[in-house]
Structure 1
């Protein structure tokens, strides 16, 4: 699914993938920044809890956003593909200043929402300036290529990842979440072996990548973002590897970025930001 075109004179909205288990009570810094990008006290946020099978997920995020101080937060729980064509829900998304996808199962989210008018509306609104974020499964679906599932481990294998179409806000990166906690380097690298154009972004828990309209990634949170760049890869054995065989990859570039560091998705240059100044 290709990203919607940004009209002349418009600016794409921020894209905010979160690695899961973000702080929600004591000091929800990531969610507070998301709210500021959506308009602060004037924010009007649509929560989409479709990935979760827990009935109270939508209501919980409504409460969290309201406690942060947003003007309005409303959960739209798309339970069937037919729901993705509901006129009043499409109107609700069209009026919103932000959309937030909760965690759960990204395949549940993609199979229910993918290809629906609601998915198209979210892409169009993001291209027109609306901020879109998501946590865990809700982070995975934001890009064109989504990691559907895979195996743990730090070494890539031919069968260690399965990809599926995502929401398609951008084609510049592939997201993996709960990254360090679930040892997912191998499957992210395997995903890049299939698609070297994209940048791999591995998000630790309670850590987010705030991706600006000019495609600069800014790290927020208590963990790290692992950026894997395969653009200059010299060799990959993925095409000749049998199932369950390890894959040889030469020439990858890897960055470990923490709060305040940045990565430019266009130039593929990392910066330590204020950290470099001591």
Structure 2
């Protein structure tokens, strides 16, 4: 599967990776914006808390979405691969307007959902208009290539990050989360240097990338998004770097976008947010 498999589909639903620790009570701006995309008061949303080991994660998000006025919210706690064949839960997924994947451990998502009817349904339905959001681990799992784990630090190193197959809703971006808070620039750069065709998107906490069907990313939230564009990469030492050695990357473009800023992954064009007074 390549990046071109994901473009030019005007029917596709929104894809919304969130950097984690999104505001949930005072002013749940990101969750409200997701509900609006799903249809507001008429919307139905399924919560998938698989990444979390906490029993109250699913019910807590159900309560949050109900407080935001959705018509119905339901938790689908897929705990094992057998759960992913349950006809009653698959029926729910076939009918909802939006799906929200919680935080936790992204490998629990990939090892539990990967290759199952749930993963296939999420991809198929998203291509037909289902809106899918994920926070923290849920955000990492959204892409075709998922950052499974890695080291902190600003400088890329040869063995700094481990990739794994993700859900595959998009092949045009590679997502990392808790970005500024956990100093993850180096591991995103390392991941991109393996095959620099995708755009790197580093999400600060309480910050989301609302990816439209035309592949335009809009920033929503209190933090920033770091966009790493490797399309003009001139040279890289990744092929010759030894274990733990730093990697040289020449020609990388980097943008910092705050709320209201946009980036199109096809044209590689970034636009700053309008001044606050004009928004």
TM, length-normalised to structure 1: 0.96
Query: In the TM superposition, what is the alpha-carbon distance from 1:277 to its structure 2 partner?
Result: 9.1
Q: Distance in 1 between matches of 2:225 and 2:160?
A: 21
Aligned to 2:112: 112
- CA distance in 1 between partners of 2:239 and 2:3 (Å): 27
Q: For 1:107 and 1:163, how far apart are their aligned partners in 2?
A: 10
Where do 1:239-258 residues align within 5 Å?
239-258=239-258
Aligned counterparts of 1:276 and 1:60: Cα–Cα separation in 2: 33
Matched, 1:53 2:77: no
**Deviation readout 1:201-253 (Å, 9 max, x if unpaired):** 00000000001011100001000000001111000111111111100100000
Distance in 1, matches of 2:135 and 2:19, equals 6
Computed over aligned residues only, the root mean square deviation of the Cα atoms, in angstroms, reads 1.9
Q: Is this contact kept in 1: 2:10–2:213, CA < 8 A?
A: no
Contact 2:224/2:256 (8 A) holds in 1: yes
Does 2:10 align with 1:13? no
**Any residues of structure 2 matched to 1:64-103 within 5 Å, and which?**
64-103=64-103
- Judged with a 3 Å threshold, the aligned counterparts in structure 2 of structure 1 residues 6 and 125 are, in CA distance, closer, same or farther, namely farther
Distance 1:86 1:4, change over 3 A: farther
5 Å matches for 1:166-245?
166-245=166-245
Question: Is the partner of 1:208 in helix, strand or coil?
Answer: strand
Q: How far, CA to CA, are the matches of 1:7 and 1:267 in structure 2?
A: 12
- Partner of 2:123 in structure 1? 123
How far apart in 2 are the matches of 1:197 and 1:3?
8
Output one character per residue of 1:176-207: Cα deviation in whole Å (capped at 9) or x when no partner: 00000000000000000012001000000000
> CA 1:255/1:69 → structure 2, altered by over 3 Å: closer, same or farther?
same
SS at match of 1:111: helix
Q: Structure 1 36/257 Cα, relative in aligned 2: closer, same or farther at 3 Å?
A: same
Structure 1 segments, 4+ long, off by >6 Å, are 1-9
Q: Deviations over 1:237-270 (max 9, x none)?
A: 1111111110010000000000010000110110
SS at match of 1:11: coil
Unpaired runs of 5+ in structure 1? none
1:17-76 CA distances to partner (integer Å, 9 max, x unpaired)?
Answer: 000000000100000000000110011001000000000000000000000000001010
CA contact (8 A) 1:99 1:133 kept: yes
Output one character per residue of 1:125-184: Cα deviation in whole Å (capped at 9) or x when no partner. 000011000000000000100000000000000111000000000100100000000000
Q: Which runs of 5+ in 2 are unaligned?
A: none
Q: Is the 8 A contact 1:49 1:102 kept in 2?
A: yes
With over 3 angstroms needed to count, the CA separation of the structure-2 counterparts of 1:104 and 1:193, relative to structure 1, is same
In the alignment, is the contact (CA less than 8 A) between 2:6 and 2:172 conserved in 1? no
Match in the other structure for 2:144: 144
CA distance in 1, matches of 2:33, 2:88: 28
Of 245-254 and 2-11, the range deviating more from structure 2: 2-11
**When the two structures are superposed, what TM-score results if normalisation uses the length of structure 2?**
0.96
CA distance in 2, matches of 1:7, 1:156: 29
User: 1:191–1:100: structure 2 CA closer, same or farther, 3 Å change rule?
Assistant: same
